[in-house]
Structure 1
């Protein structure tokens, strides 16, 4: 049976996902058969797996770090928020329910069985499993029926390492306070700590580390440096943008309240010659290219956009010759009508779209989940492209006679407007291949060259693993020394 360690955090975004990814790479490099695992994830950023399901993007990244294809067992329960108090529940890669927070709390024993089934399969196949928690184990209001943090660790009897983000401030209070919120058995399960995102002179931190170890009786395994511009996909919040001089192209993406798969924008956000903005409403920054990303609540997000004056701003952008891309839910918004007869993303009913493409979309209960490979349309240069589909909608109309991409199976997708200014597609990840990015940046107004997403991801994983190896006693943390 596999050995295991669970990485939990004092807060959300403390560094759990990246620490697991780096450890996966270090063990895989040592020839160990290692797998990532997250019992329960909550994110609208999902990846399509080789076995035709969907999981959180962090577990897909961790799988790549371990040298594996992503599979549904790495993240058996995925919650995709549709409102502040409700989410679509994905079990073993398939959407099975849309539940309120209270309803899901009652459903957790069923979800736990799915988690334990996946755990058993991975235990049989791998030598090591690195488990990622969710949020923080200090959320005592969620302790009953917990399957994401200590509830899972206790159910399968595995040790825990706690990671804390010093960049937020109050790191010692984070750690000591978290321990105080745990039960005695949970506290004894914690082997020690990792402090993440440190900047400055380590000698000034050392007295605090000694105090922490004396106060808790547990070791600090390492202090990881702040790794700026680490090109890894963010799981939840919109990744921050660092401005660079010398921009040749201005790109603005709409930050919907229920934005999904916003990692589609990473190729633009990380490019040194792109001035990139997330638009949350308010001042319009102007752009050569505007992108409408995916949405988990298309009608509600479009209503928000219009309430912010976004529709008028978009039409002005097009009048001045700007280019516009709609991805998945953003593609659906470009059409004339949106229909949700089953109430899959809100109250049943329909409403007008932006009316920029002659098509209509109807949401259906069967979700499309598939990986895609093919070429951009001839009007865009025919460059090789790849991506994935993950959506409920079915779109129909004359706009589809001018597709944006052609799959290698010959199946067309999306649409290009007759004037060539607007492009829409269900393909996520369209900007991630170097050839497609170059073609689309040329279409947008400036021919840019970039590495593909796979190359950027590999370089970032190697950089992360090197930092863990240099600054953390990771073998001791895993109990290997």
Structure 2
């Protein structure tokens, strides 16, 4: 069994992208491969087939491998709920919340979970491709590290180091990172990949030659900057729109401090008939046809911030002019009458008044609801698939006019009597083509072009594998993956 790890010189250097690319490249060759990330810090998560919660990047990597997501693929997930604290999820289940200092000591416990998951995956798959987190050269985090070299040393695996040339300073990033590692860690680095290059590769070659001579390590290749490319972001919000023409539906999403699962809006951002605006804190909500309140990891605190920005008044004005409002998960809870947190799960225990736009009341309970679901929207009876990740239980008269009737017989969400306000717990509802079409028509777009979001994601995963074929040393990669030396060379 072989484990190969991809680490990056910085956050967003291209670790997730490269692991996804390598997963599909191996899957194309009929190699049984699984993705793995020991520790992830992100508010974008997915529900697995075994009913747990992992980072969305690992769910996409599972798709690249032709697998259903499993909690062993991301055994430790940290979901920040304050600037210095996070909910700790082990093997898909929330076990506690703690501040950063306390978690630093807890890493010994977390490492046991990491190694157990890796052992199970290694027993089932010939190749495990591992994604690091942040940078291995973060000196303050090296003690008890489980996310980068600490893990690589524990399982004795080789490492590829990736850097983003589009940021600038790529040679300093690579050489500097290597210099800050111990001798044994430096020996683990078997080569470099440079990501997001634009221009004439001949002009870069002298730098590549210098890098190899300076470090004694090979450059496995240079990946080009891909335009019109989409891969779900692990954390940072992707605001790229691309060129759009004709009648556009204006959609605004207020960005709250603890916004979660903003990947919900990727299908809208990529839709050719939607102009999507993420409204930054302190900015006014622009004129829109549809305002969507997103999910939140700290619903009551984010609701208070929404009011501080005057966005509640903007919502009221938007509705007076006939606009539509949709709330997803935490955003749905905000639309109701009250949000109670009697156990102090997301902050100080207490109750907050909601926006009062839907006749529902929510109580946060310790047991998180984690489900992959399917059903039909109230709108046009459109089929929809999605997933639930929430601690809140919502009740009230508003549920009598449910937004979604699920196949398991449950009613989800609510639609106001005037049809202007809707709330649902379903993440990913815009990924269903029929549901997306119905929702855009409800929001005011007369003629909607159907878009297959899953086909777009599959297309771009294939594009990534093509880049491996064209631009990386596949012979050396095959060796590092434990395959024949001439495999796919």
Give the TM-score taking structure 1 as reference length: 0.98
The alpha-carbon deviation at position 450 of structure 1 amounts to 3.2
1:361 aligns with 2:362: yes
Once residues 179 and 73 of structure 1 are traced to their aligned partners in structure 2, the CA distance between those partners, rounded to angstroms, is 29
Change (3 A) 1:295 1:475: farther
Change (3 A) 1:386 1:42: same
What's 2:455 paired with?
455
Once residues 453 and 94 of structure 1 are traced to their aligned partners in structure 2, the CA distance between those partners, rounded to angstroms, is 29
Superposed CA deviations along residues 320-374 of structure 1, whole A, max 9, x for unmatched, are: 1111110000000001111111111111111111111111111000000001101
1:332 aligns with 2:317: no
Matches within 5 A, 1:30-69: 30-69=29-68
Query: Could you tell me whether the CA contact under 8 Å between 1:339 and 1:363 is conserved in 2?
Result: yes
1:117 aligns with 2:107: no
Superposed CA deviations along residues 251-300 of structure 1, whole A, max 9, x for unmatched, are: 11111111100000011111122111101131332211111110001011
Once residues 95 and 450 of structure 2 are traced to their aligned partners in structure 1, the CA distance between those partners, rounded to angstroms, is 39
Once residues 20 and 180 of structure 1 are traced to their aligned partners in structure 2, the CA distance between those partners, rounded to angstroms, is 24
What's 1:261 paired with?
261
What's 2:133 paired with?
134
Larger mean CA deviation between 353-362 and 31-40 belongs to 353-362
The alpha-carbon deviation at position 162 of structure 1 amounts to 0.3
Once residues 29 and 198 of structure 2 are traced to their aligned partners in structure 1, the CA distance between those partners, rounded to angstroms, is 29
1:319 aligns with 2:326: no
1:292 aligns with 2:293: yes
Q: Secondary structure at the match of 1:83?
A: coil
Superposed CA deviations along residues 381-402 of structure 1, whole A, max 9, x for unmatched, are: 0011010101000111111110
Q: Secondary structure at the match of 2:458?
A: helix
The alpha-carbon deviation at position 243 of structure 1 amounts to 4.7
The alpha-carbon deviation at position 82 of structure 1 amounts to 0.4
Change (3 A) 1:368 1:83: same
Once residues 316 and 26 of structure 1 are traced to their aligned partners in structure 2, the CA distance between those partners, rounded to angstroms, is 51
Query: Could you tell me whether the CA contact under 8 Å between 2:271 and 2:451 is conserved in 1?
Result: no
Once residues 448 and 468 of structure 1 are traced to their aligned partners in structure 2, the CA distance between those partners, rounded to angstroms, is 36
Query: Could you tell me whether the CA contact under 8 Å between 2:273 and 2:449 is conserved in 1?
Result: no
What's 2:251 paired with?
251
Once residues 167 and 309 of structure 2 are traced to their aligned partners in structure 1, the CA distance between those partners, rounded to angstroms, is 31
For structure 1, the residue ranges without an aligned partner over 5 or more in a row are: none
Change (3 A) 1:475 1:405: farther
The alpha-carbon deviation at position 50 of structure 1 amounts to 0.4
Query: Could you tell me whether the CA contact under 8 Å between 2:133 and 2:148 is conserved in 1?
Result: yes
Once residues 217 and 92 of structure 2 are traced to their aligned partners in structure 1, the CA distance between those partners, rounded to angstroms, is 38
Once residues 240 and 220 of structure 1 are traced to their aligned partners in structure 2, the CA distance between those partners, rounded to angstroms, is 31
Give the TM-score taking structure 2 as reference length: 0.96
Superposed CA deviations along residues 381-435 of structure 1, whole A, max 9, x for unmatched, are: 0011010101000111111110000011221100000100111000111111111
What's 1:196 paired with?
195
What's 2:304 paired with?
303
Once residues 325 and 475 of structure 1 are traced to their aligned partners in structure 2, the CA distance between those partners, rounded to angstroms, is 50
What's 2:94 paired with?
95
Number of matched residues? 478
Q: Secondary structure at the match of 1:350?
A: strand
Larger mean CA deviation between 93-102 and 451-460 belongs to 451-460
What's 1:20 paired with?
19
Query: Could you tell me whether the CA contact under 8 Å between 1:8 and 1:163 is conserved in 2?
Result: yes
What's 1:210 paired with?
209
Q: Secondary structure at the match of 2:431?
A: coil
Matches within 5 A, 1:220-239: 220-239=219-238
Matches within 5 A, 1:374-389: 374-377=375-378, 380-389=379-388
**Structure 1 consecutive aligned stretches of length 4 or more whose deviation exceeds 6 Å:** none
The alpha-carbon deviation at position 473 of structure 1 amounts to 1.1
